[in-house]
Amino acid sequence: MTDEERTNIFMMKHKKRIKNIEIAKALNRTPGLISSFFNGRTAMSKQKQEELVKFVENYPEYAIFKVQVNNSK
């Protein structure tokens, strides 16, 4: 995986507010490995990378909207 691809997955993870510990639990990895991978300090096997990408891409994204409520009596 290139640095650009890793950065794109990281940004998607950040946008979806996925924590490293969530990824680690789902993929049976350590949070440290996930963090080190995203920081470019360690490599992962191709299979582990594919599992990570699939998890992040398929993770649901939520949006919260602020709506004014009319408090008329």
**Residue-level pLDDT at 30:** 95
Q: Does residue 71 lie in a domain region?
A: no
pTM confidence score: 0.80
Question: Per the structure, how many domains does the chain have?
Answer: 1
Cα 46 to Cα 44: distance, rounded to the nearest angstrom = 6
Q: Does residue 72 lie in a domain region?
A: no
Token duo for residue 5: 């691809």
Q: Does residue 68 lie in a domain region?
A: no
Name the band, by pLDDT with cuts 50, 70 and 90, for residue 59: very high
**Residue-level pLDDT at 60:** 92
pLDDT in tens, 23-55: 999 999 999 999 999 999 999 999 999 999 999
* Structural domain boundaries, residue 27: 3-58
